[in-house]
Amino acid sequence: MREPIEIEVDVTEAAGLGIPAHTAVTVFVPEAGALADPPVVCFAFPGGGYCRRYFSFDMPGSSGGGQAGWHVDRGWIIVACDHLGFGDSTVPDGNALNYDNVALGNRATVEAVMAKLESGTLIDGYPAVLGATKLGIGQSMGGCFTIVLQGHHGTFDGIASLGYSGIHTVVPTRPGAPPAAWPWVFRGSDLDNPKIMNQQAIGAAAGPALAGPESLSDAASAGEHPFAWSFHYDDVPADIVAADMAASSGAADGPLPRWRSAAIPPCGIYMVAPGTVATEAASITVPVLIATGERDVVPNPWMEPTAFKSATDITVFVCARMGHMHNFAGTRHQFWERIHTWGTAVASMRALRRGA
């Protein structure tokens, strides 16, 4: 794998936030002679509280650039992207971000990177990448934003929703512990004064009520972090779990782990309400991969295809011995392999249709 390329994409006009805005991306490319045929460019979007380096960090004892390096070794171009409000991208004040302007920023990002690849201007001496199949893969909140992007703008030739439900995303707690209660915030309601549709149920819940960093920190300090069981399988090293969960609850001592983002857009609270992306999911016509861990936030993966009512090519994969944060799991290579074989098939089918 060549040295990754860091790019800032100006999305000021596209996002329409009324402030200068950019997204930060890292592009990972194979040597020109090792590029897949037909070529595949895969845009990878992280989940809430994580950044684009979620796709390239190495677990202890591993090397090679994480998931990005794994796919690049097999001929793909990987573009790891920080959404607006994440990582090194612009983080606007207050509640300026919503599903729609995040999608507009991501659309502009994809278009800018593809223009560089197709014109051969991304890297000196690297050939133009023409006729590539564009994939969008999103983990957790990134899956939510990818569904919205595809539903509104048809950006990709195939999408993968990794640990996000098109029906209802639910964060489970350890068996035997009372389930956490999340507010079902009506999408589009003012986040300064949100309309919560399940207020009575939250008041009656036996488990912790989670609505933001402060409530999460309180729940974590009272016992096991509410995310620990579902996010990380039992064989993930304890120090990695501790660092990740400390960052999640705002209790990190020192710099954040490299896979983490200091910012999370408040609009992310919409994503745990039932049906929050129902219309976008139902309108998607390209191939869809629904991939989860054995312990994840998708209550019934086998029901997920019903959310994608217009798609005729839907794949479901549940990876054993894996929690919601897939790239930490001991079985992560199986997960990456399934994404890769699916994406390669999407590219092959697309080439067949274009040649027909």
Q: Mind listing the pLDDT tens digit for each residue in 202-260? A: 989 888 787 666 666 676 666 678 899 999 999 999 999 999 999 987 766 789 999 99
Count the Cβ atoms, other than its own, within 10 Å of residue 312: 9
| Cβ burial 19-56 (10 Å sphere, 16+ → b, else e) | eebbbbbbbbbbeeeebbebbbbbbbbbbbbbbbbbbb
Number of domains in the chain: 1
pLDDT at 285: 98
* CB proximity list for 61: less than 8 A, separation 6 or greater: none
182 within a domain of the structure (yes/no): no
Full-model pTM = 0.96
**Which CATH number fits the domain that encloses residue 25?**
3.40.50.1820
pLDDT at 2: 86
Domain range for residue 159? 5-170+264-355
320 within a domain of the structure (yes/no): yes
* CB proximity list for 248: less than 8 A, separation 6 or greater: 49, 216, 220, 225, 227
104 within a domain of the structure (yes/no): yes
91 within a domain of the structure (yes/no): yes
332 within a domain of the structure (yes/no): yes
pLDDT at 344: 98
- Which residues of the chain are modeled with pLDDT < 70? 1, 211-217, 219-223, 251-252, 356
Q: Sign (positive/negative) of CA torsion 252, 256, 257, 262?
A: positive
Cis status of the peptide bond prior to 38, with omega within 30 of 0? yes
86 within a domain of the structure (yes/no): yes
258 within a domain of the structure (yes/no): no
Burial bucket for residue 191 (CB in 10 Å: 0-12, 13-18, 19+): middle
* Tokens, residue 44: 């990878």
285 within a domain of the structure (yes/no): yes
Is residue 118 within 8 Å of 129, Cβ to Cβ? yes
